[in-house]
Amino acid sequence: MLSPSLHEQLSSCEAMVMGASAGAVEALNQLLPAVPQDARIPLVVVVHLPANRPSLLPEVFAPRCQAKVLEPDDKQPMTAGNIWFAPSNYHLLIEADRSFAFSTDLPVNFSRPSLDVTFESAADVFGERLCCIVLTGANNDGARGARAVRQNGGLVIVQDPTSADSRQMPEAAISSANPQIIAPLPEIKELIRLATRAA
Amino acid sequence: MPEDIEIRLLLDAIYLRYHYDFRSYSAASIKRRLNAAKLQMNAETLSALQEKILRDPQVFTRLLQFLTVGVSDMFRDPSFFRVFREQVVPELRTYPSIRVWIAGCSTGEELYSFAILLREEGLLERTTLYATDINPEALRKAEQGLYPIERLQAFTENHQLSGSKCSLSEYYTAAYGSAAFDRSLRKNVVFSDHSLATDSVFAEVQLVSCRNVLIYFDRSLQDRALGLMKDSLCRRGFLGLGSKESLMFSEHASAFRDFVASERWFQRC
């Protein structure tokens, strides 16, 4: 089902960024356990969260995942083999030296963290060596960011809206970014496995 | 990338013309902010924006609002303020007079949070607070202490979670869609223009709070800023940082010990 060039791009990408909103926990629960302990690349996960309390996602997912699940600190290197969750109440950005940076700038699409902010800065750093995944959600966040990833030559995967808990976010990403792959979760899970497995 | 070159040139131009130094700011954030400014200020490119900025100080003043737009809530991260109340305040109490530096106070949310907690703990009368920022417009707003009434619900919830026994409404009066904070809270506040990038130490203090400012700096500028804080703090003085900021990567790490590391409270050795 995957063309040789997409297969090549996926298995040589150097980072994966994914985002979700409404329905996120259920979707990520299907996907993240597929990431192996010695994952070849770092994965960054942005989920819309309430602002006034710490994110519980690292604690929720750590016991379910083989890979290490972490929340980065400012300027921490974005090391491979880990699943990095964006914390609540900050935007998460990537620096050119592949470390994490944060901002408390205004919410984007009413969200902080915003998928667009992380995707756009990752697109800038990784160019065609980036894979971006947009999952279920009930707003348009991620659409601009996914387009930036696509314009910089990266690979964009969007959850098939008909299979999504909330279809608005995948639909917005599809119309904005013209993704190379639109697929339901079980297929995305296999793509993640392919991208993250050790060479 | 041409845009990265334009950013460098623009930041050089700003430094040469206005002596504001953004050259060691976090590149990822500054790029976002400059692109937002470019759109809103109707400039085709950053080079075009640079031309306007070099010739018109008012255009620079507008740009400065984009370059320093960090937004904070009062009592952001209530658990940080709870530690202040329960563990830092008992130590501050031992000083006959107290000096506190809010570094990068922006529009004042953090400043009023500390002033309110110090009042509740009976220490505000003998405390001097230095509230500094590089943005004169933000300092003016901090001095006014006026916030849109819509923001007060979040402030109030955070205030409760920080362990207060009083209601936040005791400290402000609401009128015309704004909450005006009691001027007695800022009686002992010195508002001042100060840059962590270009200025030096100005006072000895027992506490520095600098939250979500260092995240906008690269590591070299973080070290400069932390050096100023280190040199401003008396022995056993306290440093409070934002929830994602740490001393882990700093050359000044050894000058501090963890006080309550999980809430980013550190103490000067």
Contact B249/A at CB under 8 A: yes
Contact B76/A at CB under 8 A: yes
Residue of A nearest to B73 (CA): A52
Q: How confident is the model over B149-163, as a mean pLDDT?
A: 95
Query: For chain B, what is the radius of gyration of the CA atoms?
Result: 19
B214: which 2 tokens? 């260092």
Asked if pLDDT for residue B249 goes beyond 90, the answer is: no
- Chain B residues whose CB is inside 8 A of the A102 CB are 212, 215, 244
Residue of A nearest to B1 (CA): A124
pLDDT at A52: 78
Q: How confident is the model over B5-14, as a mean pLDDT?
A: 97
Q: Which CATH superfamily is domain B78-268 in?
A: Vaccinia Virus protein VP39 (3.40.50.150)
- Chain A residues whose CB is inside 8 A of the B212 CB are 90, 102, 104
Asked if pLDDT for residue A21 goes beyond 90, the answer is: yes
Indicate yes or no: CB of B71 within 8 angstroms of CB of A120. no
Q: Where along chain B do its domains lie?
A: 2-67, 78-268
Asked if pLDDT for residue B69 goes beyond 90, the answer is: no
SS3 content of chain B, % helix, strand, coil (to 5): 50, 20, 30
Q: How confident is the model over A49-65, as a mean pLDDT?
A: 91
Facing residue for A106 by CB, picked from B69, B161, B216: B69
| CA nearest neighbour of B233 among B263, B265, B256, B259 | B256
Render B199-221 in DSSP notation, one character per residue. ------EEEEEE-SSGGGB-HHH
Q: Which residues, including other chains, have CB under 8 Å from residue B51's CB and lie 6 or more apart?
A: none
Is B237 in contact with B208 (CB distance < 8 Å)?
yes
Residues of A belonging to the active site: 21, 48, 141
Using a CB cutoff of 8 Å and minimum separation of 24, what contacts does B41-47 make?
B45/B6, B46/B3, B46/B6, B46/B7, B46/B10, B47/B6, B47/B9, B47/B10
* Rounded-to-integer distance, Cα B251 and Cα B71, Å: 28
Phi-psi domain of A174 (left: phi exceeds 0; alpha: psi -120 through 50; beta: other): alpha
Q: What tens digit of pLDDT does each residue of B135-151 get?
A: 999 999 999 999 999 99
Our CA-based measurement puts residue A199 at a distance from the nearest CA of chain B, in whole angstroms, of 31
Indicate yes or no: CB of A74 within 8 angstroms of CB of B215. yes
Q: How far out from the chain centre does Cα B84 lie?
A: 17
Is domain A9-196 in CATH 3.40.50.180, yes or no?
yes
Q: How confident is the model over A28-52, as a mean pLDDT?
A: 95
Confidence label for A51 from pLDDT (cuts 50, 70 and 90): confident
Note the pTM of the prediction, 2 decimals. 0.94
pLDDT at A1: 67
Which of B244, B247, B250 to mutate to test binding with chain A, by most A CBs within 10 Å of its CB? B244
Asked if pLDDT for residue B119 goes beyond 70, the answer is: yes
Residue of A nearest to B212 (CA): A104
> The complex's ipTM?
0.92
Contact B216/A at CB under 8 A: yes
Contact B151/A at CB under 8 A: no
Indicate yes or no: CB of B219 within 8 angstroms of CB of A101. no
Asked if pLDDT for residue B219 goes beyond 70, the answer is: yes
